[in-house]
Structure 1
């Protein structure tokens, strides 16, 4: 058992989550509506634009994990890659929202190209960042401490990205100027967060492992043979799809169902303050009933909040606020606990001293990005099926009652059902505190 790491390492590691969460949250919250309501892109094409970069990322991120595993550096194997992402992602992110003088298909092509490049830059940071907790400590509960700090910073990032980004965007009379200013501010935030994680983790251990010489496909086969990872991974994907669907639906519901776009920031605050505040409580519950049980309860709380949001037309703003608080509490657990369980899988994934954490982390991060885009895609499908009408920046379109019902169901009931479905694969997860360190081939 290693000694506990300095608190500063926990905190600076956690600060990197600001970047990963802002990059996932702001496009999830604003990119679809930016395309449909400012660049006059159809909902179906806009959903494809959001999804395409994640398909590319799904193919590339595992390779980044392999290359990270094989990296030899005085900085360790992870931090050089994190620095490369830190120096490229902020510029590309700002460019995505640069407000080109394009509309329709041409605008969609521009955004898709820049978003693909930004997603790859994000993976250069996020894949090695995700791999770190599983290899710099062998303490089962310290991994939860790392991820408690990470969850707190996720909440801060969502507060900045989910609440501040819409305010920045809407504070300008011209839509293009608002999106451009928001992109620049969020890009600066990405840079500060990523550099702080690179510099702040320099005191973390840099364990030496024998690198794996085989190619990606053999390593992927080994990864999916890891019995704990192969049931945790689909559970986490379903959690991410649920979160992505709900976040993407917020600005549509506030603007069209509640009739006030300013409610976007209010509801996001109601989600994010409980998300940050409840992270220590989920960690304590995971110590008492273990991580799998706590993750199941967090999924149930999220789903309850989602069902409450479905009733917004009946109980208005007060009910929306209460339901958003429940969503935030549940989202805290579904953020902290799967990440901590992943770190346990990473720690048990090496055989014969060979590093494989980057491969599993690459699968995890690409799967997370893909799942969130699938969530956005589910919403765009609900909009397209229900007859939502896209518009340019200066157009005002009155949506039909069917379109309003479609966006409400797609933003609330659909993510609640998807979240509850994660309980099925989660029920087969068996990596508890007592079993950490068992050989990967041990019987379940």
Structure 2
């Protein structure tokens, strides 16, 4: 029997795929709403509709189709690796186009935004869904799977660090104040790097779990297995809730720093850091106080998130994924909600709270996807049929639906609080946001995103795959596969 242990080189190679994907995904979560309203010049309500409708279509149409096709792919490279190979270039090209700002009429801009966003989500699904499913067939060893997830989400944090910390200051610096030119330049480099990283993932990974011929099933049987799989239903709902919160708070921080945080207090707090960064040559942070504060705020959070990811595997191995996930998600939620208590000058408390929130959320990050791989094992254990990609496609439905809903909530709620977009300002209005916008931004990083997380914590009480069940499933599947 082939060993289920995997080398460090393969773990790193696999993680490069998520580094590539998250150069795109983190940009969508962090900047898509801001790009549409403040760079591309769409009205709030139109940006909300595009993000919601296209996102939901991508979630419920693209992902199930690609999942079913990937499970039925047969090649000398396996089921999932060919998808990573053949989508590497298209994903990079479409990501660049989606953040390009052609000089069209307003109607043309709407059509272009909807079209390129649709193509981007299709290309992302065709690449990232098989990539995610690949983790379920690289190894069946639960400890190795936890380790693989830790490598993977170390790469995620690296991409998140770049996008959330450096991207906005670099956009302003490279574009010399022209955000449109800056973001096109940055996305060009990110697209090229992402393409190379996906090709490395294809070359360095191997599919070890190959379903036996008698496990072949129809799409109808696969779907029937899904809807009888209670852990899958819980994980699907949980994924939707988590990504609603991530899109909501991630997309709101830029507005929070531009409209709520006191600029003088922020300047005083971050000035020593800016002086240090300038001394080592990183002077592009000084182009704008709010963007510098936004980047450094995210930097502190991501560093602590990486620490959380580093301890995640040991905690999951010792106490089981479900219990660790639920406990740390609840604590992370309390820190999110704490932002409602802070006034605009409480900058130090904001940074400390973000760091603590991201540490506990970081613990959950690799566990989520390892749990979804466990759900694929649970389905095989219960039904004696393995359908890895369609299970992961359902989770991608949750991810895309959560991203669409959360992103639309950001622009929709800001509109309710009176936010003035670039388009409205260009029509002759002075770019001074009403005072209500500050309160809306505060709610979008505190109370509103805490609600989906709390519901997710409650759902985990009904998730039956605890540590004892994990070990039982692993042992029995190993026996069958031999």
- Which residue number in structure 1 is paired with residue 340 of structure 2? 310
Deviations 1:350-388 (A, max 9, x none): 266533111011111132122122111221221121111
Matched, 1:432 2:432: no
Matched, 1:251 2:282: no
Deviations 1:158-217 (A, max 9, x none): 012222221222212212201211221221232132222111214x425244364423x5
Matched, 1:11 2:7: no
5+ unaligned residues in a row in structure 2: which ranges? 264-289, 478-482
More helix by share: 2
Structure with max Cα Rg: 2
Matched, 1:381 2:415: no
CA RMSD of superposed structures (Å): 2.2
Deviations 1:229-284 (A, max 9, x none): 11122122211211111100011011111242321211111121111122121222
Deviations 1:317-359 (A, max 9, x none): 2112112112321331232111111111112322665331110
Q: What's the CA shift for 1:392?
A: 4.2
User: Structure 2 CA distance, aligned partners of 1:192 and 1:418?
Assistant: 36
TM-score normalised by structure 2 residue count: 0.86
The answer to whether the 8 A contact 2:92-2:191 is kept is: yes
User: Structure 2 CA distance, aligned partners of 1:324 and 1:188?
Assistant: 32
Q: What's the CA shift for 1:148?
A: 0.7
The answer to whether the 8 A contact 2:88-2:195 is kept is: yes
101-110 vs 156-165, which moves further: 101-110
User: Structure 2 CA distance, aligned partners of 1:85 and 1:364?
Assistant: 20
77-86 vs 299-308, which moves further: 299-308
- Which residue number in structure 2 is paired with residue 162 of structure 1? 164
Q: What's the CA shift for 1:123?
A: 0.9
Against the structure 1 CA distance between its residues 412 and 170, is the aligned structure 2 distance closer, same or farther, given a 3 Å change threshold? farther
The answer to whether the 8 A contact 2:169-2:291 is kept is: no
Against the structure 1 CA distance between its residues 348 and 434, is the aligned structure 2 distance closer, same or farther, given a 3 Å change threshold? same
- Which residue number in structure 2 is paired with residue 123 of structure 1? 125
Q: Helix, strand or coil: the match of 1:430?
A: coil
Q: Which runs of structure 2 are paired with 1:360-399 in the superposition (5 Å)?
A: 360-392=391-423, 397-399=431-433
Deviations 1:20-56 (A, max 9, x none): 2222210221111111112321112111222233222
Q: What's the CA shift for 1:155?
A: 0.4
User: Structure 2 CA distance, aligned partners of 1:54 and 1:152?
Assistant: 26
Q: What's the CA shift for 1:73?
A: 0.7
Q: What's the CA shift for 1:136?
A: 2.5
- Which residue number in structure 2 is paired with residue 144 of structure 1? 146
5+ unaligned residues in a row in structure 1: which ranges? none
Matched, 1:182 2:186: yes
Q: What's the CA shift for 1:427?
A: 0.9
Q: What's the CA shift for 1:432?
A: 2.5
392-401 vs 366-375, which moves further: 392-401
Matched, 1:268 2:269: no
User: Structure 1 CA distance, aligned partners of 2:319 and 2:383?
Assistant: 32
User: Structure 2 CA distance, aligned partners of 1:319 and 1:245?
Assistant: 21
User: Structure 1 CA distance, aligned partners of 2:184 and 2:55?
Assistant: 23
The answer to whether the 8 A contact 2:168-2:291 is kept is: no
Out of 41, 66, 81, which is 1:79 matched to? Answer: 81
User: Structure 1 CA distance, aligned partners of 2:357 and 2:125?
Assistant: 27
User: Structure 2 CA distance, aligned partners of 1:301 and 1:186?
Assistant: 34
303-312 vs 369-378, which moves further: 303-312
Q: What's the CA shift for 1:314?
A: 5.2
Deviations 1:143-163 (A, max 9, x none): 111111111111001012222
- Which residue number in structure 1 is paired with residue 359 of structure 2? 329
User: Structure 1 CA distance, aligned partners of 2:71 and 2:195?
Assistant: 24
- Which residue number in structure 2 is paired with residue 196 of structure 1? 200
Matched, 1:300 2:330: yes
Q: What's the CA shift for 1:3?
A: 3.9
The answer to whether the 8 A contact 2:425-2:431 is kept is: no
User: Structure 2 CA distance, aligned partners of 1:414 and 1:326?
Assistant: 19
The answer to whether the 8 A contact 2:217-2:385 is kept is: no
User: Structure 1 CA distance, aligned partners of 2:230 and 2:71?
Assistant: 21
Out of 456, 463, 472, which is 1:422 matched to? Answer: 456
Against the structure 1 CA distance between its residues 348 and 135, is the aligned structure 2 distance closer, same or farther, given a 3 Å change threshold? farther
